[in-house]
Homo-oligomer: A and B are copies of this chain.
Amino acid sequence: MGFLHHLQRCNRHDLSGYLPFRVDGLVVGRIRPVFAELLSAWPAVFSVSPDRVDLAVETSDVAERSAAVAGVLQALVAQGAISRLHGEQYGVTTDSRDDALLLIDRAAAPCFGIRAFGQHLNGYVRDGGSYRMWIGRRAADRMIYPGKLDHLVAGGLPHGIGLAENLAKECWEEAAIPPELALRAIPVGAVSYITESERGLKPDTLYCYDLELPMDFQPRCMDGEVDAFYLWPVEQVMEVVRDSQEFKQNCNLVIIDFLIRHGFIKPEHDEYLDLVVGLHPPLP
């Protein structure tokens, strides 16, 4: 096996079935017709036509708009159409996550097919040219990807918190990395993919970070997300990524990017240019 199959798995989607979701006339997401039909029960909030869904709330105030949409989502949870809400708000944007036109609960983001953002951190120790990477095993009771391998630190980016601040928070919660150490994390780029979940479309962008950790650093999980941590030679990580689906799906992309940037996947590899391009697809 190679590495490219992970990019293909993370980018399985068919946009043809979706209706554009517009706010202020800008396309900010994609909605399945079956979900659009549910939304049509709230004509004061959503204007549903055969070829698109528009936010119909008659105010440009982001808090008021978001409250109106949150009311609909709570009703949909009560109906059983959405299983639960997450409690974290994602900003709805065409471009930068700072310029939110509307806030939507994280759990409902795929229903609207809005862009979501996350942060993944490659935590490693280095001994000369030899690298070892810290890997987590997700707790068996997780709703998403129970028991799968995961990054040392990874999380979604809610609205209203800066990148550095959120990373420091996740570093502490997920691995007990203190803030002064988290500050040393180097932002090294981003990977993107467009996938389909049961709930809908997920055009995701993950900001990637490298953090060289001291040899004697020992992660501890503070929030119950992880059952165990392993410190593996990067060659072992590379084999597991290449030959299995052991990692939570999107982690594979961030690790492949790490392996390319540090020269472990070499340009002679026949998938090299497809990987470099495929990790950074233009989003719709």
Q: Is the CB of A186 within 8 A of B262?
A: yes
User: Does A207 make an interface contact (CB < 8 A)?
Assistant: yes
Instruction: Given the known inter-chain contacts A186-B262, A187-B263, please indicate yes or no for A280 contacting B276, CB distance below 8 A.
Output: yes
Residues of B within 8 A of A279 (CB): 280
Instruction: Given the known inter-chain contacts A163-B268, A268-B162, please indicate yes or no for A260 contacting B192, CB distance below 8 A.
Output: no
A276 CA to B189 CA, complexed, in Å:
7
Instruction: Given the known inter-chain contacts A96-B270, A267-B163, please indicate yes or no for A188 contacting B261, CB distance below 8 A.
Output: yes
Q: Is the CB of A188 within 8 A of B260?
A: yes
Q: Is the CB of A267 within 8 A of B192?
A: no
Q: Is the CB of B187 within 8 A of A266?
A: yes
A263-284: CB near B (< 8 Å → 1, else 0) gives 1001110101100110111110
Q: How many copies does the complex hold?
A: 2
Q: By CB atoms of chain B within 10 A, which of A261, A262, A267, A280 has the most?
A: A267
User: Does A47 make an interface contact (CB < 8 A)?
Assistant: no
Q: Is the CB of A261 within 8 A of B189?
A: yes
Q: By CB atoms of chain B within 10 A, which of A273, A277, A280 has the most?
A: A273
Q: Is the CB of B187 within 8 A of A267?
A: yes
Residues of B within 8 A of A280 (CB): 276-277, 279-280
User: Does A190 make an interface contact (CB < 8 A)?
Assistant: yes
User: Does A249 make an interface contact (CB < 8 A)?
Assistant: no
A266 CA to B187 CA, complexed, in Å:
7
Q: Which residue of B lies closest to A268 (CB)?
A: B163
A147-181: CB near B (< 8 Å → 1, else 0) gives 00000000000000011000000000000000000
- The 8 Å CB contact of A190, one of B162, B190, B272, B281, is B272
A190 CA to B279 CA, complexed, in Å:
12
User: Does A205 make an interface contact (CB < 8 A)?
Assistant: yes
Interface residues of A in 225-274 (CB under 8 A from B): 260-263, 266-268, 270, 272-273
Interface residues of A in 9-67 (CB under 8 A from B): none
Chain B min CB distance to A57 (Å): 28
A85 CA to B277 CA, complexed, in Å:
32
Residues of A within 8 A of B (CB): 96, 162-163, 186-190, 192, 205, 207, 260-263, 266-268, 270, 272-273, 276-277, 279-283
Which 8 A-B pairs give the minimum distances between C-beta atoms?
A: A186-B263, A280-B280, A187-B267, A190-B276, A277-B280, A187-B263, A207-B267, A188-B261
